[in-house]
Amino acid sequence: MNKYLIQLFLVVALFFLFAALTFPDEGMWLMTQLEKLPFSEMRKHGLMLSPEQIYSTTGTSIKDAIVLLPGGTGSFVSAEGLIITNHHIAFGAIQSVSTVEEDYLKNGFYAKSKAEEISVPTYTARMVTSIKDVTSDVLNGVSDTMSASSRQEKIQANIADIQNKAKTGADMECTVSETYNGVKYFLYCYDVVRDIRLVYAPPSSIGNYGGEVDNWYWPRHTGDFGFMRAYVAPDGKAGKYSKDNVPYKPRAFLPVSAQGVTENSFAMILGFPGRTFRYRTSAEIQLSKDETLPLVREFFRTRMDIIEAAGKKDRAVEIKYASKWRGMANTYKNYEGTLEGMKRSNIISQRLDNEKKFQEFLQSKPELQQKYGSIMKDIVSTYENLKSFNKKQIVMGQLIGGSDLLGVATRFMRFANSFAKDSTGEVKPSDKSVSDMKEFLTSAFKDVDANVDKELLTALILKAADLPYDQHIDAVQRITGPRIGEQREKVVKEYVNDLYKHSKITSKEDCERLITKSSDDIRDDDFIKLAISLDKDNAQVQTQTAAFNGKIGMLRGKLLAAYMEWKGPDLYPDATRTLRLTYGEIKSYVPRDAVHYNFETMLGGVMEKETGEDPFIVPQKLHELWEKKDFGRYADPLLHDVPVAFIGNLDITGGNSGSPVINGKGELIGVAFDGNWEAVVGDYLFQAPLNRSINVDTRYVLFLLDKFSNAQNILSEMVIH
Strands 125-133 and 184-193, how do they pair? antiparallel
Over 50: is that where the pLDDT of 3 sits? no
pLDDT tens, residue by residue, 689-708 = 999 999 999 999 999 999 99
How would residue 423 be classed by pLDDT, with cut points 50, 70 and 90? confident
Radius of gyration of the chain (CA): 27
Instruction: Tell which wins on pLDDT, 431 or 8.
Output: 431
Architecture of the domain delimited by 30-124+194-275+576-721: Beta Barrel (2.40)
Q: What is the mean pLDDT of residues 323-347?
A: 97
Contacts of 315 (CB under 8 A, 6+ apart): 100, 103
In this structure, the chain runs to a length of 721
Between helix 526-567 and helix 485-502 the angle, nearest 10°, is 110
In the chain, the percentage of residues whose pLDDT exceeds 70 is: 97
Which residues pair with residue 230 across a beta bridge? Answer: 196
Burial class (CB in 10 A: 0-12, 13-18, 19+), 10: exposed
pTM of the model: 0.94
Over 80: is that where the pLDDT of 198 sits? yes
What is the C-alpha to C-alpha distance for residues 372 and 364, in angstroms, rounded to an integer?
Answer: 12
Over 60: is that where the pLDDT of 360 sits? yes
Provide the pLDDT for residue 13: 40
How would residue 424 be classed by pLDDT, with cut points 50, 70 and 90? confident
Catalytic entry in 75, 88, 98, 288: 88
Average pLDDT, the chain: 94
Distances (CA, A) of 593 to 165, 219, 590, 597, 600: 57, 17, 7, 12, 20
Residue environment code for 369-394, b if the CB has 16+ CB neighbours within 10 A, otherwise e? eebbbebbebbeebbeebeebbbbbb
Contacts of 710 (CB under 8 A, 6+ apart): none
Over 80: is that where the pLDDT of 142 sits? yes
88 catalytic? Reply is yes
pLDDT tens, residue by residue, 533-590 = 999 999 999 999 999 999 999 999 999 999 999 999 999 999 999 999 999 999 999 9
In three-state form (DSSP H/G/I as H, E/B as E, the rest C), the secondary structure along 42-86 is HHHCCCCCCHHHHCCCCCCCHHHHEEEECCEEEEECCCCCEEEEC
pLDDT tens, residue by residue, 664-682 = 999 999 999 999 999 999 9
pLDDT tens, residue by residue, 89-104 = 999 999 999 999 999 9
Provide the pLDDT for residue 24: 62
